[in-house]
Chain A
Amino acid sequence: MSTFTFATVQYESGDWDSAPLVPANLIDSIARYTEIDVAPSGVVVPLGSEAALRYPLLYLTGHLPVRFTAQEKQVLTRFLDRGGLLFVDDHNHDVDGMFHKTVTEELEQVAGVLRKLPNTHPLYSSFFRFEDGPPNTSHELNGWGDNLLHPYLMAAMRGDRIAVLYSNKDYSSEWNFHPDNKRFYSVDNTRFGVNLVVYALTR
């Protein structure tokens, strides 16, 4: 079995590198809770490069407007057709923000319509069980961004498989801390990230 490497997408527009500690944090969680053979550090992969096709899961985030280039759209289409899972998180946590407006527009051009993912979806029980769907973030609970608690994630499907998972919940802020600080949490808030990786590797 090959080693799983967490890949962050670098796209030409926007601030794709706004949550630099998320990869390490999720890698730590994968090592902590699973026996998945995981690389100790993540990689940054340009979305316009065919290198993106090597990874089963791509993580995309940012605050600024996202406009994919033609090459990026082409690679992303191939990535999704080949069974990849793109996880997109709105680091703005703002449905009125330009990241949300632009990236959803771009994603729907490439992957089709984003629809609400039922909170009973296997994603929420692929490793840890989340009875109420996606776990809330402190950024939602503190009323930052759009001041909303988003009860669902959105997804574009390929058959019965999630191809694009879109989050307004700002996991990028929630998970953007050094994994050594996880010991200060009574409940590890990155556990949903483990579900995400396990789902991407098994579906």
Chain B
Amino acid sequence: MWRMPAALDRAGDGSRAVPGAGGARAAGATALGAVTLTLRPPRYAGRAVERLVDPALVRAYPGSRVMLEGAGPADGTRARVDDASVAVREAGIGWRSEFVTGAARALVRVERDGGGARLLALEPLVDSAPMVTLRSPARDTVLRQPNGTIALAADVRDDLGLASAVFEYIVSSGAGERFTFTSGTLGALRPGSGREAALRASLSLDGLTLAPGDVVHLRAVARDQNDVSGPGVGSSESRTIRIARADEYDSVAVDQAPPPEVDKSLLSQRMLINLTEALVKRSRAVARTEVTAESRRIGRDQGRLRKQVSDIIFSRLGDGGEGGEHFHGDGHAHAESDELAAGPLTPEALLRAAEKATVISGSPTDFEHDETPVVAINRPMLEAYNAMWDAGRALDGGEPARALPPMYIALAAIQRARAAERLYLRGAPPRVVVDLARVRLQGKEPGSPGARSPRQPIDLARAGVLARFGAALDELTRDPAAGVDSLIVLRLAVAERLPAAAAALEGAIAAVRASRNATDALRRARRALDDGLVATDTLPAWGGAR
């Protein structure tokens, strides 16, 4: 974008107009007078020299030589191109200043002290790159044998003048991760071709020693004569010539090919149509009962064919999900309510699935955009199944004329399926669907905790001991002898794990037996039983093998 030069933008914000142009002349000063501009375009432009007097706007190719001249002294006369000063010299009876235009817009200001000023806008002309159209070969080609000669033809055009034009070729050899390349050029423009030319050459494939699998990439390239800001380079679209590999028809990476089944369906459907059309033609000449009987016979054949189509569809998408890759719209069930997930379908269920798969928002299926080949193949088959169902009903009802339209639809759908089988979408890469939830460690657990009960404050063994101690105390109040027995048994049980408790119990037993106050001893025993775990120095004796 052009900006006002700082020297002229005195307001500093680019908003103020330039003062002084044509301004008042100081008393005694020499007026600037008329400014004559001589424009000498660069050689590549091929234009004549122009002379202009006091121009306000000049359009020039980059590299043009501009000469400004005027009357009066050079001393005190200044010239600027944007912010850059340009020398002003004496020339004859006046002054002269010269500069070369660039590729950007510029503002030229000529002024004289007290003598006024002139402004001149310079607008660059654009030198377009050559336009190149490759006429031959007209399209990409696959050749069985790497021999012969290919005629090359291209039209080249430039707005000013062509300098050169050639055909470029690149031969790429190899596969997988190993490729080698050779390149070269062919043909040449005749000298003095001007602005338009026809480029011709021939490419000998024998000379390139091509091997099966090699690809020749061809294009035409032209350069213009711009030696200032160029040269401008133009090129045609590329064409490729590939040498077929002997095994390439075996290496096409498609699913195991059902084409024979589809071909069989296609033939049968066409025959059914022929039979129905013949029946419709002669229906006026024969009895109604005969028409109905023949129509039902065709209807039975139509039903068998529909069964074949449904088998093909089942074999592809009614498989219960083997293979693991599912795509939106491929017929695989992604919801439990989807009928296709429930295993083998009744004809009615399959028909509903066909309706669902073949009609989107009430409009026929479109097999473009980002659909996978699986969808591209299955949807037409589902559509064919749907149409065959309609045709069969009409035939069974003895109305062959009504059956024909859906039969045509079925035939067209099968043809589309067949085309989808044949056309392996080169470059449809293996589609890996990332299980985002698994990657993000988001399992099926919804994250809500189950009900939990509070933990026991002490271990169960200790709780049992305390319960037994409590029971022994109760026993002491009712039957002191029985209570003492309970304490003795308890002491024995805790002697090894809780020796302090055992000692306290021993004291309590002795006190009860001596009819002394056993309260302190029993209190110590409770504390000891309720205390933390006691570590022992030795492992307990192993008694499992007595």
Determine whether B322 belongs to the interface, using a CB cutoff of 8 Å to chain A.
Answer: no
Bound form: Cα–Cα A31–B276 in Å: 58
Bound form: Cα–Cα A28–B370 in Å: 21
13 additional contacts, CB 8 Å, given A40-B435, A63-B177? A17-B428, A17-B429, A20-B429, A21-B429, A24-B433, A31-B434, A40-B436, A63-B179, A64-B179, A65-B181, A65-B217, A97-B181, A98-B170
Determine whether B452 belongs to the interface, using a CB cutoff of 8 Å to chain A.
Answer: no
Q: Mark A18-32, 1 if CB is under 8 A from B, else 0.
A: 001101100110011
Write the nearest CB–CB distance from A198 to chain B, whole angstroms: 16
Bound form: Cα–Cα A139–B427 in Å: 24
Total A-B residue contacts, Cβ distance less than 8 Å: 82
Determine whether B183 belongs to the interface, using a CB cutoff of 8 Å to chain A.
Answer: yes
Selected contact of B172 from candidates A41, A64, A173, CB within 8 Å? A64
Q: A32-B440, A63-B179 are in contact. Are A21 and B430 (CB under 8 A)?
A: yes
Among residues of A, the one whose C-beta sits closest to the C-beta of B233 is A109
Q: A13 to chain B: which residues have CB within 8 Å?
A: 217, 238, 240
Among A38-59, those with CB < 8 Å from B are 38, 40-41, 43-44, 51
Determine whether B439 belongs to the interface, using a CB cutoff of 8 Å to chain A.
Answer: yes
Determine whether B84 belongs to the interface, using a CB cutoff of 8 Å to chain A.
Answer: no
Q: A13-B217, A31-B439 are in contact. Are A41 and B432 (CB under 8 A)?
A: yes
Among residues of B, the one whose C-beta sits closest to the C-beta of A27 is B434
Selected contact of A70 from candidates B237, B369, B426, B429, CB within 8 Å? B237
- Can you show 30 pairs from A to B with CB atoms below 8 A apart? A10-B427, A13-B217, A13-B238, A13-B240, A16-B427, A17-B426, A20-B430, A21-B429, A24-B433, A24-B434, A27-B434, A28-B434, A31-B436, A31-B440, A40-B436, A43-B370, A44-B370, A44-B427, A44-B429, A63-B172, A64-B172, A64-B179, A65-B238, A67-B217, A67-B219, A91-B177, A97-B181, A98-B172, A98-B217, A179-B434
Q: B434 to chain A: which residues have CB within 8 Å?
A: 24, 27-28, 31, 40-41, 179
Q: A10-B427, A64-B172, A67-B219 are in contact. Are A41 and B179 (CB under 8 A)?
A: no
Write the nearest CB–CB distance from A61 to chain B, whole angstroms: 12
Write the nearest CB–CB distance from A102 to chain B, whole angstroms: 7
Q: A120 to chain B: which residues have CB within 8 Å?
A: none
Q: B428 to chain A: which residues have CB within 8 Å?
A: 17, 44
Q: A67-B237, A98-B172 are in contact. Are A38 and B427 (CB under 8 A)?
A: no
Write the nearest CB–CB distance from A120 to chain B, whole angstroms: 30
Determine whether A92 belongs to the interface, using a CB cutoff of 8 Å to chain B.
Answer: yes
Q: A41-B434, A67-B217, A69-B237 are in contact. Are A92 and B439 (CB under 8 A)?
A: no
**Inter-subunit contact A179/B427 (CB<8 Å):** no
| Interface size, chain A (Cβ < 8 Å) | 35
**Inter-subunit contact B433/A41 (CB<8 Å):** yes
- Which B positions have Cβ atoms within 8 angstroms of A? 170, 172, 174, 177, 179, 181, 183, 215, 217, 219, 235, 237-238, 240, 369-370, 426-436, 439-440
Write the nearest CB–CB distance from A139 to chain B, whole angstroms: 9
Bound form: Cα–Cα A20–B170 in Å: 25
Determine whether A115 belongs to the interface, using a CB cutoff of 8 Å to chain B.
Answer: no
Write the nearest CB–CB distance from A173 to chain B, whole angstroms: 7
Q: A38 to chain B: which residues have CB within 8 Å?
A: 436
Write the nearest CB–CB distance from A181 to chain B, whole angstroms: 12
Determine whether A178 belongs to the interface, using a CB cutoff of 8 Å to chain B.
Answer: yes
Bound form: Cα–Cα A116–B237 in Å: 29
**Inter-subunit contact B170/A65 (CB<8 Å):** yes
Among residues of A, the one whose C-beta sits closest to the C-beta of B129 is A109
Q: B435 to chain A: which residues have CB within 8 Å?
A: 40
Among residues of A, the one whose C-beta sits closest to the C-beta of B440 is A31
Bound form: Cα–Cα A15–B242 in Å: 13
Q: A144 to chain B: which residues have CB within 8 Å?
A: 177
Q: B432 to chain A: which residues have CB within 8 Å?
A: 21, 23-24, 41, 178-179
Write the nearest CB–CB distance from B91 to chain A, whole angstroms: 42
Q: A28 to chain B: which residues have CB within 8 Å?
A: 434, 439
Bound form: Cα–Cα A44–B370 in Å: 7
